[in-house]
Amino acid sequence: MSTATAPVAQRVRAELRQRIERGEWQPGMPLPSEAALCREFGTSRGPVRRALSALRAEGFVVGGRGRPPVVGRVVPAQSLTTFRSFTEWARAEGKAPGTRIVALERRHATSMVAGLLELDEGATVVDLVRVRLLDDVPIMIERASFPTEVGRHLFGFDPERGSVSAELARHGCQLASARHTIDAVSANRLDAEMLGVHEGAPLLRERRRSQDASGRAVEYADARYRSEYATFRVDNRAVDASPIEVRADS
């Protein structure tokens, strides 16, 4: 459905969101009044209010309940429908990715990690701990474990200057699929220190088990995001979905 034929509320939402994403409207800037938006889009208050409500739900607009709406801080959303590295995602969003390595070493796997990587109890793995940054702001700490035949390729490689997944792919260890489990946790002391938040702060945790094209488990990662910088997007569609009739509102 083209923008021209979309319902009015949808067209208003799309236009306002584009202005925010392009930087025409900066965080903290007051939005035009509902009356001004009604005049601009030639519509009534109903569609304008629905558009603003949708933008609030997405975090593009904050305020309400007696407070005038203002532009919120845009948090790039990570899609879980495609398999992309943090570096690829950040650059696609126009952000500068950064990495600070905390540890890269061989360790004996915990029982949980050994099980997830389909290794024998007590097997040696390569553990990588790093803080990920967007535009020099620490937003996530990632603890990843790899079987030694995979992780050994990271020694002699500088993870602060390149993509780990791209380096592994260069050695024939392509990460082809992953299962993500997302929940909320509180920052422990180490998380708090590395992310610059207070101990106990809410973090969004993404646990990821990645496989290569043959189905072999090649990575298990625990990534913890500062909640104000983390959104994930999943687009679903029924297998045999019939087209939905959409009527224009006024």
Average pLDDT of 163-185?
89
Is residue 141 in a domain?
Answer: yes
Q: What is the pLDDT of residues 122-164, one digit of tens each?
A: 899 999 999 999 888 898 999 999 999 999 999 988 887 778 8
Shared-domain flag, residues 64 and 87: no
DSSP-derived pairing of the beta strands 137-147 and 217-226: antiparallel
Same domain, 112 and 218: yes
Our count of domains for the chain comes to: 2
CA distance 220 to 189: 22
Look at residue 37 in the predicted model and tell me its pLDDT. Answer: 94
Adjacent-strand bridge partners of 98: 133
* Domain coverage including residue 203: 78-233
Task: Please indicate, yes or no, if residue 185 is contained in any of the structural domains.
Answer: yes
67 and 88, same domain (yes or no): no
Q: Please say which residue of 43, 71, 99 terminates a domain.
A: 71
CATH code, domain with 46: 1.10.10.10
Per-residue pLDDT, 1: 43
Q: Within this chain, do residues 38 and 82 fall inside the same structural domain, yes or no?
A: no
Domain assignment present for residue 28? The answer is yes
CB 126 within 8 A of CB 154: yes
Q: Domain end: 21, 52, 71, which one?
A: 71
Q: What is residue 74's predicted lDDT score, i.e. its pLDDT? A: 60
Average pLDDT over residues 199-208: 92
